[in-house]
Amino acid sequence: MTVMKNNNYNNGTVNFGGNKSGGGKGYFYVTTPIYYVNDKPHVGHAYSTVIADSIARFKRLSGYNVFFLTGTDEHGLKVEKEANSRGITPKELADSVHIKFKELFAELNISYDRFIRTTDADHVKTVRIVFEKLLENGDIYLSEYEGWYCTNCETFLTEKSLTEGGGCPQCGRQASKVKEESYFLKLDKYEKKLLDYIENNPDFIKPEFRKNEVLSFINEGLKNLSISRTSFKWGIQVPGNEKHVIYVWFDALLNYLTGLGYEDFLDGQNQDFYRFFKSVNHIVGKDILKFHAVYWPIMLFALGLEPPKTIIAHGWWLMDGKKMSKSLGNVVDPVSLIKKFGPDALRFYLLSEITLGLDGDFNIDNFVARYNSALANDLGNLVSRTAAMLNKYTAGKIPGCGVLEDVAVLKTAYDILNGLSGRYDDYDFAKILEDIFRFINILNKYINDSAPWKLNIEDPEEKINLLKILKTVAMSIYCVSYMIYPFMPETSNKINNILNIKPFNLPGFSARPEDMKDNCEKLFKDEFCIIEKTEMLFPRIKLEE
């Protein structure tokens, strides 16, 4: 398995040069949530990260300068409590658990540019700089907080929002009544400005129905947010008042600035910061949309920065209709699935099974059925049978100059390619994959209907027809390899290796989808050999195994 190595970040210095694709088309910044280190990763964490990785890979293919940030959220009462229960320090817990996320992301071939930890020295410095800046300009003030708090969600709650019996509306756990001195962030000051921004920027919150939830929350009236705690110690201390630690969400959201080198930007040494930040796409779960679509833009307003370009709120992966959680014992371990089925099978299932924004129910029977049907039967069989025919009929050479291809078949491929950019802008991954696999089925039917194995290669006309079929299918498979690369990079690289074509993730490679027609026709002018033996891309799996 290929493991992506990410060397653009070292000792707190951000290097944007290593991820430029050379196309000069623009800048693209994508982030995942940073994940709590109170427990090992599950399939929901994999889902967010694969979404971000797929869009990052597509944008690099298209010639954008891309920066992809992920990482771990390591402060807060929840982490402190979990560490205490294990008899270790919070930092020891964070050090052990963040490695599990890195290992999972390596297994999934996640091509991030930086893995940030909120205990990183540059992040701690950024949080303190921002806190002091907002305190100085009057957007933060000291007062007293009295109200409800959910430790599990690390969120403050109104009494009105509690469930019957005093539970958190998000996770159902019992909320706690707290009263303590606290610093507050002024939300009411920016309420009108935020509403105007949402109204004037239709792409700010996706999907559309999530935007309505945010507007409903704002229209209830924003109350100033408590952003410090004195009842525990594990967090970044407030500058000049160290009995306070900064609220974990105020701390965590600022990772999106730290990751781009905010401190250097303030010093005038980071020319790329604003170019990237203007293009930011935050991938988040629906349960943390409020923090990203309300608190975060207000923090940015107070700093004199523009809010995010787009926040994409995806749904949850459920098990038997319930959100996965350690306490319910219904967590799906992504590592075990990868070891059995490979990383691309999991990536494919996560992105094709549900429309972004909706919930999905993870079902292992359905997973195996989709693996065998789409990946083993359709894609795997297409590639292996084509390679076998080329080896048998043309000594492994893909027909080139002088052999015409079937224009009608290739037009279908080019039509899909030409529509990709718009679909990616809408994060319509399920539809993209549906179209790709529909085309794969067209190719399998084209082979079956053409029946090249029935043609007499001693007859000149039939031999020309045979070469036309083989060239058409080979060119089409190359287009398929391009289409699936953002979703299934390992499989795409294997296909290109079978075709004896360079992989798409080589440094400096870029090809917009609309340019692939010309690239494809130039590439297949000459004859070239494929490798003699091809590995099976997706061996069939028996459900009982």
Do the Cβ atoms of 94 and 74 come closer than 8 Å?
A: yes
DSSP labels for 195-247? Answer: HHHHHH-TTSEESHHHHHHHHHHHHT-PPPEE-EESS---SPEETTEEEEEE-
Confidence of residue 252 (pLDDT cuts 50, 70, 90): very high
pLDDT at residue 295 tops 70 = yes
Note the pLDDT of residue 155: 75
pLDDT at residue 15 tops 70 = no
First and final C-alpha spacing in the chain: 22
pLDDT at residue 484 tops 50 = yes
Do the Cβ atoms of 471 and 405 come closer than 8 Å?
A: yes
Task: Decide: helix, strand or coil at residue 319.
Answer: strand
Confidence of residue 3 (pLDDT cuts 50, 70, 90): very low
**What does the domain layout of the chain look like in residue ranges?**
9-314, 364-529
Tell me the per-residue pLDDT of 164-203, one tens digit each, with 9 for 90 and over.
Answer: 767 887 777 888 877 789 999 999 999 999 999 999 999 9
The alpha-helical segments, DSSP class H, found in 201-285 are: 208-219, 248-253, 255-258, 262-266, 272-277
Confidence of residue 156 (pLDDT cuts 50, 70, 90): confident
Distance CA 44, CA 64 (A): 28
Do the Cβ atoms of 78 and 150 come closer than 8 Å?
A: no
The residues near 304 (Cβ < 8 Å, ≥ 6 apart) are none
DSSP labels for 99-139? Answer: HHHHHHHHHTT---SEEEETTSHHHHHHHHHHHHHHHHTTS
Distance CA 71, CA 112 (A): 9
Tell me the per-residue pLDDT of 367-392, one tens digit each, with 9 for 90 and over.
Answer: 999 999 999 999 999 999 999 999 99
pLDDT at residue 19 tops 50 = no
> For 364-529, which CATH superfamily applies?
Isoleucyl-tRNA Synthetase; Domain 1 (1.10.730.10)
More confident residue, 161 or 382: 382
Tell me the per-residue pLDDT of 46-57, one tens digit each, with 9 for 90 and over.
Answer: 999 999 999 999
- Give which of 249, 191, 196, 197 is closest to 217, Cα–Cα: 191
The two structure tokens encoding residue 475: 């060119």
Q: Following CA atoms 69, 187, 180, 129 in sequence, which dihedral angle do they give, to the nearest 10 degrees?
A: 50
* Mean of pLDDT over the chain: 91
Distance CA 236, CA 133 (A): 16
Distance CA 309, CA 390 (A): 48
The two structure tokens encoding residue 372: 């065998």
| Stated pTM of the model | 0.91
Question: Radius of gyration of the chain from Cα atoms?
Answer: 26
Q: What angle, rounded to 10 degrees, do the helices at 489-498 and 343-353 form? A: 120
Mean pLDDT on 7-11: 35
Domain 9-314 - what CATH class?
Answer: alpha beta
The two structure tokens encoding residue 9: 């970040």
Confidence of residue 545 (pLDDT cuts 50, 70, 90): low
Task: Decide: helix, strand or coil at residue 179.
Answer: strand
Note the pLDDT of residue 326: 65
E strand residue ranges, 333-443: 360-361, 397-398
Say which amino acid occupies 494: K
Cis bond leading into 207, ω under 30°? yes
Confidence of residue 327 (pLDDT cuts 50, 70, 90): low
List 115's β-bridge partners, or say none: 70
The residues near 302 (Cβ < 8 Å, ≥ 6 apart) are 134, 137, 139, 185, 186, 190
Question: For every residue of 484-511, which 3-state class applies, written as one string?
Answer: HCCCCHHHHHHHHHHCCCCCCCCCCCCC
* DSSP structural state of residue 189: G
